[in-house]
Amino acid sequence: IKMIAIGEKSGALEKMLENIGKQYDADVESRISRMSAAIEPIMTVVMGAFVTLLVLGIMLPIWGMMGSAG
């Protein structure tokens, strides 16, 4: 808000708003990159757990049948 007031007083409101927009865009990009950097390892662990459960769901009955067969 102070930057807008300064822009109005100096007569360079358009340039000031453009600078504010660029600053907010850079902030959003930074936040998105930090979020994706945090989410990526979490998703890798979740997918690994899912694959492990899937493999166990297939292999445990097979091992059970092999054990009872003898």
Q: Where are the domains of the chain?
A: 2-69
Rounded Cα–Cα distance for residues 33 and 43 (Å):
15
pLDDT tens track for 6-31:
778 888 888 888 888 999 999 999 99
Q: What is the pLDDT of residues 25-42, one digit of tens each?
A: 999 999 999 999 999 999
Q: Kindly state the tokens that stand for 14.
A: 């358009």
- pLDDT computed for residue 34 by the predictor: 94
pLDDT given at position 70: 62
Q: Token pair 């990526």 is at which residue?
A: 40
Residue 48, CA atoms < 13 Å, CB-side half-sphere: 6
The answer to whether 4 and 20 have CB atoms below 8 angstroms apart is yes
What pLDDT does residue 69 have? 77
Distance CA 27, CA 60 (A): 49
pTM here is 0.56
